Amino acid sequence: MAEARLALDDRLYAYLLSSEPPEHETLRVLRERTRALPEAPMQIAREQGHFLAFLIRLTDARRVLELGTFTGYSALAMALALPPGGTIVTCDLSECWTEIGRHHWRKAGVEANIDLRIGPAVETLDRLEREGKPFDLAFVDADKEAYDAYYEATLRLVRPGGLIVFDNMLRRGRAADPEETDPDPVAIRNLNAKIAGDERVDRVLIPVGDGMTLARRRVP
């Protein structure tokens, strides 16, 4: 049987969404609020929120790290899926965007489960390494040029058997173009090649949203 590659037109994408579980009402409100921002394309897709929540439940993750939360949709989707006592440490540079998130986290009743760290992610990651508390899952959706540094840091921070999830790993197809010289897609292309050959992890790149890479830290 030939390999199947399915293009998602508007009709099929609408069907996909209609076949997903119901979106939490506060998630829907936050998504609509974010849609009005000029930076709205930075938000993860609705099906990615479902996917992240599924991964939280699948792995029974209780301690989660997020790099880049924007207006907080991904953090909220994951926080709603956490077991009792679960925590998300989420990092971002913008107090303006994250204040939108805080409002909706509070509205959904999960603000106490989200530890927001404002500042450069590399500095926050250094502090987290010094704290020495491992994470079950990490989601990375931040500065693309720093993805390699984030990969190495999160690989140290997640426990053996823990999961790292990267967003935008196809970069709207630009990562696959060998003529592309823009630093963002070049950084993504280089990291894709690195992870593909990295025997420290089990890994898969899937065409969800703008491409998501899942890397599971192998147990020694």
CATH number of the CATH domain containing 16 = 3.40.50.150
121 in any annotated domain: yes
The lowest-confidence range among 31-35, 79-83, 174-178, 198-202 is: 174-178
194 in any annotated domain: yes
Per-residue pLDDT reduced to its tens digit, 82-128? 999 999 999 999 999 999 999 999 999 999 999 999 999 999 999 99
190 in any annotated domain: yes
- Average pLDDT on 157-168 reads 98
Per-residue pLDDT reduced to its tens digit, 33-73? 999 999 999 999 999 999 999 999 999 999 999 999 999 99
Count structural domains, the chain.
1
pLDDT bin (cut points 50, 70, 90) of residue 211 is very high
| Dihedral sign for Cα atoms in the order 80, 86, 91, 95 | positive
pLDDT bin (cut points 50, 70, 90) of residue 3 is low
Q: Are 140 and 165 in contact (CB under 8 A)?
A: yes
4 in any annotated domain: no
pLDDT bin (cut points 50, 70, 90) of residue 8 is confident
1 in any annotated domain: no
5 in any annotated domain: no
Domain assignment of residue 105, given as a range: 10-217
pLDDT bin (cut points 50, 70, 90) of residue 173 is confident
pLDDT bin (cut points 50, 70, 90) of residue 220 is confident
62 in any annotated domain: yes
Burial of 125 (0-12, 13-18, 19+ CB in 10 A): buried
Q: Please provide residue 123's backbone torsions phi and psi, each rounded to the nearest 5 degrees.
A: -65, -40
Amino acid 1: pLDDT: 41
How many other CB atoms are found less than 10 A from the CB of residue 76?
27
2 in any annotated domain: no
